[in-house]
Amino acid sequence: MSQQDTAGVRAPISDDSEGMRQFNTLPRRIFVVYLPLAVFVFVLLFPFYWMAITAVKPDNQLTNYEQYSPFWVVQPTLEHIKYLLFETSYPGWLWNTMLVSVASTVIALAASVFAAYAIERVRFSGARVTGLLIFLAYLVPPSILFIPLAFIVFQVGIFDSRLALILTYPTFLIPFCTWLLMGYFRTIPFELEESALVDGATRWQILTKVVLPLAVPGLISAGIFAFTLSWNEFIYALTFISSSENKTVPVGVLTELVRGDIYEWGALMAGALLGSLPVVILYSFFVDYYVSSMTGAVKE
């Protein structure tokens, strides 16, 4: 034992790790932090900025780049937004998109919860293979599936109705949500369910009173993904809907505001901007749950 230890004086502990010192100098902070962050923010926000300025540009400024800057607007106008809201069926398209997205998300989440819980907790023979096959089903391109689905939709008699979209969207929502919830259910300690079984709880009570309350971040994350995919879906909505009043925003904006080679850019950008706001608001309200679901809120 050294003399310092004998005297009761402990030698100071030295830490040779740099930690965050690599960002102390200004040039390093610029190239490692500020510059990548600026590029990310520019790439993320520039499309919204472009849609916003195009939506309020007068028609004479949309293509006259010799007298007006393409990146700024002089004397903004609300004529494009007024035309979109009051002279087209856009409010109806927005309602159709909201109704279809919410209904499809609810159906997909309900089916995915049962499927993911059965695969992860019931542990039947071939559960892992079933989970893998479910995820592989999500990888099948919709451009391949819409032809047989169109035949079924015609046979059932729901063509050109919102019900056609509500019943077909879960075909690609359920596999993805099931795979996501399987990973989240795996982070919930199995000992909690064993304790509930010892206390006499049924599987249904365990699912509704133990697992689902702990899996709220995962459910919200899966719901956000399902809602976003439903909101932006284009192929099925274009194939199964023909009347203007039943169209969704992605299809209605493209098919009704483009007439031959005439593009109503102001109304198009206004429709795209307004159509993206619900998804942005949804993410902003549930961003904390979304992040916690990605990292795993409950650890074994």
Range of the domain at 43: 21-77
Residues 112 and 254 in one domain: yes
Nearby residues of 235 by Cβ (< 8 Å), 6 or more positions away: 142, 143, 146
Residue 33 sits in the same domain as residue 90: no
The answer to whether position 12 is within a domain reads no
Q: What is the pLDDT of residue 161?
A: 92
Q: What is the token pair recorded at 32?
A: 């490692």
* Domain final residue pick, 61, 77, 93: 77
Residue 9 lies in a domain: no
Indicate whether 203 and 54 sit together in one domain: no
Q: Is residue 189 part of a domain?
A: yes
- Whether 73 and 95 map to the same domain: the answer is no
pLDDT in tens, 133-180: 887 887 888 778 888 888 999 999 999 999 999 999 998 899 989 988
Q: Is 40 in the same domain as 182? A: no
Same domain, 26 and 123: no
Residue 119 and residue 56 share a domain: no
- Report the share of the chain in percent with pLDDT over 70: 88
Distance between CA atoms of residues 7 and 17, nearest Å = 29
CATH code assigned at 129: 1.10.3720.10
Residue 209 is classified by DSSP as I
Within a domain: 53: yes
Judge whether 282 lies within some domain.
yes
Q: In this structure, are 48 and 93 located in the same domain?
A: no
Q: Same structural domain for residues 43 and 92?
A: no
User: Phi and psi (nearest 5°) for 259?
Assistant: -115, 100
Q: What is the pLDDT of residue 20?
A: 55
Residue partners of 178: CB distance under 8 A and separation at least 6: 111, 112, 115, 116, 119, 131, 134, 135
Long-range contact pairs involving 147-153 (C-beta distance under 8 Å, separation at least 24): 149/236, 149/240, 150/239, 150/240, 153/240
pLDDT tens readout for residues 180-212: 898 888 888 888 888 888 888 888 888 888 888
- The percentage of the chain sitting over the pLDDT mark of 90, rounded to a whole number, equals 29
Tokens representing 279 are: 């998804």
Of the candidates 57, 77, 97, which is a domain's last residue? 77
Number of domains in the chain: 2
| Residue at token pair 């919860």 | 113
In-domain check, residue 204? yes
Same domain, 68 and 203: no
Q: List the beta bridge partners of residue 258.
A: 263
Q: Where is the domain boundary, 77, 96, 125? A: 77
Are 166 and 257 in the same domain? yes
Report if residue 32 sits inside a domain. yes
Instruction: Inform me whether the pLDDT recorded for 8 exceeds 60.
Output: no
Residue 217 reports pLDDT greater than 80: yes
Mind listing the pLDDT tens digit for each residue in 78-132?
A: 999 999 999 889 999 999 999 999 999 999 999 999 999 888 888 777 777 888 8
Determine which helix (DSSP H) or strand (DSSP E) holds 123, and give its type and residue range: none
Is residue 229 domain-resident? Answer: yes
Residues 177, 255, single domain; the answer is yes
